[in-house]
Amino acid sequence: MISHTARQWAVGHGGFCTAEIRSGYDAGLRPIRYVYDCGAMRPRHLYQAIPAYLAEVAADSGAIDLVVLSHIDLDHVNGLKRLLTDSQVRVDRVMLPYLSPAERLLAIARSVAAIEGEDGMDPDDPDDDHDGGALAPDGFELHLMLDPTTALRGLDPDVQVIFVHGSEGDDDAGLGPDPAPVEDFRVLLRPPEEPGDLGMIAVGPGWAKHDPETGESHMSDRIAVRVHESTKFTMWLLAPYVSARRRDRVAAFMAAAAATFDLSEHELRNQLSEPGTAYTLVVQHRGRLRDLYKQFGGTNASSMCLYSGPLASGGPASSEILDGDGISLTHSDRAGTLLTGDAELKRQDDVDALVAHYAPLVPLMDVVHLPHHGSWHNISAQLLETLPNLRLAIGMTNPTSPHHPGPETMHAVAARGVKAHLVTNEPASALVTLATAT
């Protein structure tokens, strides 16, 4: 038996989900831990949650096996530096979607606009405790958006950096019901150390490679992480999915940016590919990037989803969800959760692509973290309807936000007969999910 405990911390508009997987053989054995996103638009509560979590980890194994970043917007990564620089806790791997230079520039423009009031924040409001210095010239987050590997290795030279590429357009983009091991992709390998211990391995029909020159690893989103017991081989799956890129909008953004900087697109692309030149460009033209983002009305870069739950071919599973006061909200004989980051799942073809990717796992999904904090621009009723056993929809938001989640989203959730829960910055709104799989 495997037990899985996940906590969605009350950090407001952002995301900080931590989880541990333990062996039912002996709960005292070293767990496998992962984190999905580590950021908040107004990070005061996040900065309180991170040390509390790290103290728990330090008191146990002292290691986090995997940090998964849905994307590199500020409200999903501005706690990462604190997570990776704790002297008592080691982070082994960071996994994030591969973003083109144009998408990285778009993420910078988006975050600048958010800080300066274009995403519901008020820089003149003393209670709006956003981290305005995060995109300062010496800020870690700016360097992360420009050159993720160098920024992450600058915090910890031993951390493994894994870029995930979308498999959109593949004839057969799904994972399959029981994906086979990819034993030569050792960056995701953690063999069991003793009987009853947990092991971790890459599985799936996709491609994976490690570049010894750069130290980077790359894989398609048809690769997943399988956690298993060494004795009874009970399994748990962590399966990414990179949402379809809006190539037309990214291309339009790139063309407009080139015109703004009085460069050809080829020249701009070359400058963005050189970290030092890219740094100078964005620092000098911060205001122009903000104004440019406003023209594109909320355009996102790619975002990575994560399925966490049993394999389709696995045995019985169950779960219970508690709020921050320990009150039980739901029980289920399923245990699959879909975390969505800021994925764009509004159009029918977007929903169809996600369902095709996760096809054998869709019946196991009974909890969904609403994309982009429940914004109606990122979600449709079709998404809810394609998850036949959905019982809980979760949004991460600030208590007074008018758009996250949007009223249309809440209406669609209610019409589907699904329970909704908002995780705000109030401690009682936090969630803990207790699941088992055999």
- The more confidently predicted of residues 53 and 113 is 53
CA distance 304 to 37: 10
Residue 126 has pLDDT above 60, yes or no: no
pLDDT > 90? residue 135: no
Q: Is 52 helix (H, G, I), strand (E, B) or coil?
A: helix
Owner of token pair 């908002």: 422
pLDDT at 171: 52
DSSP label at 114?
Answer: I
pLDDT band at 240 (very low <50, low <70, confident <90, very high): very high
pLDDT bucket at 170, cuts 50 / 70 / 90: low
pLDDT at 152 over 60: yes
Q: How many CB atoms lie within 10 A of CB 90?
A: 17
Q: What is the pLDDT of residue 47?
A: 96
Task: Say what the pLDDT of residue 137 is.
Answer: 66
Could you report the per-residue pLDDT of 365-385, keeping only the tens digit for each? 999 999 999 999 899 899 999
Condensed to tens digits (0 to 9), the pLDDT of residues 17-58 reads: 999 999 876 667 889 999 999 999 889 999 999 999 999 999
Which range has the worst mean pLDDT, 22-31, 33-42, 231-240, 428-437?
A: 22-31
Residue with more model confidence, 323 or 134: 323
For 24, half-sphere exposure in the C-beta direction (CA atoms, 13 angstrom radius) is 16
Confidence of residue 404 (pLDDT cuts 50, 70, 90): confident
Residue 173 has pLDDT above 90, yes or no: no
Please name which of 314, 272, 323, 263 lies closest in space to residue 107, comparing C-alpha atoms: 272
- Of the given ranges (35-39, 63-67, 103-107, 195-199), which has the lowest mean pLDDT? 195-199
324 three-state secondary structure: coil
- At 129, the pLDDT band (50, 70, 90 cuts) reads very low
The C-alpha atoms of residue 169 and residue 350 are separated, in whole angstroms, by 12
> Are the C-beta atoms of 392 and 276 separated by less than 8 Å?
no
User: Is pLDDT above 50 for 112?
Assistant: yes
The phi and psi torsions of 320 (rounded to 5 degrees) equal: -140, 140
For residues 177-205, give the mean pLDDT: 89
Residue 45: burial class (beta carbons within 10 Å; 0-12, 13-18, 19+): buried
For the chain, percent of residues with pLDDT exceeding 70: 91
DSSP 179: P
pLDDT, mean of residues 199-221: 92
Q: Is the pLDDT of residue 125 over 50?
A: no
CB 344 within 8 A of CB 375: no
Please name each of the domains of the chain with its CATH number: 2-98+145-242+305-437 (3.60.15)
User: Can you tell me the distance from the alpha carbon of 366 to that of 363, in angstroms, rounded to the nearest whole number?
Assistant: 8
The arithmetic mean of pLDDT across residues 330-357, rounded, is: 93
What is the total residue count of the chain?
Answer: 438
Instruction: Report residue 136's pLDDT band, with 50, 70 and 90 as the boundaries.
Output: low
Residue 352 makes CB contacts below 8 A (sequence gap 6+) with none
95 closest CA partner among 43, 182, 37: 37
Q: What letter represents residue 246's amino acid? A: R
pLDDT score of 134: 59
Quote the distance between the C-alpha of residue 122 and its chain's center. 26
Mean pLDDT of the chain: 88
Is the bond leading into 405 cis (omega within 30 degrees of zero)? yes
pLDDT at residue 127 in the model: 42
CB distance 340 to 305 below 8 Å = yes
How confident is the model at residue 232, as a pLDDT?
A: 61
Q: Which of 99, 41, 115 is nearest to 287 (CA)?
A: 115
Other Cβ atoms less than 10 A from the Cβ of 432: the count is 16
pLDDT in the model for residue 86: 95
Tokens standing for 52? 């509390």
138: pLDDT strictly greater than 80? no
Q: What are phi and psi of 112, to 5 degrees?
A: -60, -45
